[in-house]
Chains A and B, each alone.
Chain A
Amino acid sequence: MMTTDEAIAATLAGLAVPAPDGLRPAVLTELALADRYARIDSPIGPLLVAWNALGVSLVDAASDEDAFVARHRSVTGRAAYPAESLPAPLATAIERRLSGDPRVRIALDLRGHSPFEQDVWHKALEIPRGEVRPYGWVAAEIGRPRAVRAVGTALGHNPVPLIVPCHRVVRTDGTIGQYSLGGPGNKRTILRSEGLDPEDLESFAAAGIRYLGSDTTQVVCLPTCRHARRIATRHRVPFRSLRAAGEAGYRPCRVCRPDSGAALAA
């Protein structure tokens, strides 16, 4: 027979309760051991964006939230908890970046990724809106001219597509190439939203044209370089290789540096 004191003690055990749902996320995000995520709009539809105190850690299509959380876990090793919206300054910065303001800075949390991958992504950040560069160009620019395939893989693993514009890197022959965020169709949509016509790019590629020169300046560019796009049609001289351009007396543009990776492309 239980005494009253024993019954009281036993009843007190029932006063243990589960913590509110918000406690764990609040602790882990305060310590930057977990991230928040929320939805934003983009030219290719709604996206989910994860971030923490250090910066943005993951961007992906908003089609499947559970898959996003699982991918976040496998990419960062951390939990991600839903938030109502992005912090206002971050939302504004991303909106401005997507609408083409190159000056806006967006902090990124790329911890845990290899130095090679980070080099590739930082190089992609230098490609201006409305322009594209070949994989081989990125490889040469980061001092790894033979790592063209690895550059493609690194771009495919870009955890923050659109913010790091891996869509601005195309195949060396000028065709659009693969895209991690929903495939080549999305890559075309994004490039078009940035003022570049993918069909133009592909018609050059189909004709074997890799470079465009100006017969007034004797400078040769990659086809989407802002300087190449200013060349009037009657002064535009197409080249299949940089060697041919060199033999014709043209020098490489100092802005788009077509000679980066050109030796391998030739």
Chain B
Amino acid sequence: MPPGARERAARVPYGDATVRAADRFWDVMEPDDRLVTELAHDLDASFEALVGAHADRMYSIALRMLGDPRDAEEAAQDALVRAYRALSSYDAGRIRELRLRPWLATIVLNLCRSKAGRQARRGAAPLSLDRAVPGGSTPGLDPSAPAQQAPTAIVERHAAREAWAIRLASLPAPYRAAVVLRHVDGLSYPEVAVALGRPEGTVKAQVHRGIAILRTMLEAEAHLESQEMTA
């Protein structure tokens, strides 16, 4: 299990986030050994299970790297199609050795990088974030929120989530990738190191540095707010 995952889940301040972090860990981590065995045995019959188990996290990684939900959906789709094509070219032994979580993360990150590169060259607006979801649907909203919860609480939580997404999106790319994999996706440090192809010490430093930058942003916002209040 990723070092600190259980402890982290236990001390998450959001009620729903506690559940999600724990669920994600047990839902995704445990069946992966079974899944690679099945993929090695019959790729076509079991790839649907891979999509079922990993589509959410690949989309989340892409969304938090790219900011735009449509770009994220496209990147996640391309990544899963590439994963299938890669698996169909691997022999059974190589598939069984795969560490699915970091391997899939690498594929989606590479696609995010090339997509972001293309956008930068085109001079496109960099980030539109959750707000741009078509049809007014809000992937940031938790559909499992208790019914008795006041709408304002949901709106506030969504606003808070969006604010965090924007802060995250403004992190320099290498820090952002490390922070997203470690804390949004919940990979262990060894898995993040595999996914990013960097030494574990380096990714740990990048995650800590990324969090420190986020803290600085938060403090600056709080400072600004208190100035506005007193003005």
Query: Residues of A at under 8 Å CB distance from B?
Result: 2, 4-20, 22-24, 26-28, 30-31, 33-34, 77-79
New contact pairs (8) apart from A10-B14, A31-B81, CB-CB < 8 Å: A5-B211, A7-B13, A10-B21, A12-B179, A13-B12, A16-B60, A27-B51, A27-B81
Contact A14-B14, Cβ < 8 Å, known A9-B211, A23-B77: yes
**Count of A-B contacts judged by CB separation below 8 Å:** 120
Query: Residues of B at under 8 Å CB distance from A?
Result: 8, 11-14, 16-17, 20-21, 24, 44-45, 47-48, 51-52, 55-60, 63-64, 69, 73, 76-77, 80-81, 84, 137, 139-140, 143, 161, 164-165, 168, 179-180, 182-186, 208, 211-212, 214-215, 218
Nearest CB of chain A from residue B203's CB, rounded to whole Å: 14
Contact A34-B12, Cβ < 8 Å, known A22-B73, A27-B77: no
A78 to B17, CA, bound (A): 33
A22 to B44, CA, bound (A): 20
A78 to B12, CA, bound (A): 39
Cβ B56 vs Cβ A17 within 8 A: yes
Q: What residues on B are CB-neighbors of A4 within 8 Å? A: 215, 218
Contact A15-B164, Cβ < 8 Å, known A20-B59, A24-B55: yes
Nearest CB of chain B from residue A257's CB, rounded to whole Å: 40
20 A–B contacts, CB within 8 A, in A order: A2-B11, A5-B212, A8-B215, A13-B184, A14-B17, A15-B161, A15-B184, A16-B60, A16-B184, A16-B186, A17-B56, A17-B59, A19-B76, A20-B69, A23-B73, A24-B52, A24-B55, A27-B84, A30-B77, A33-B84
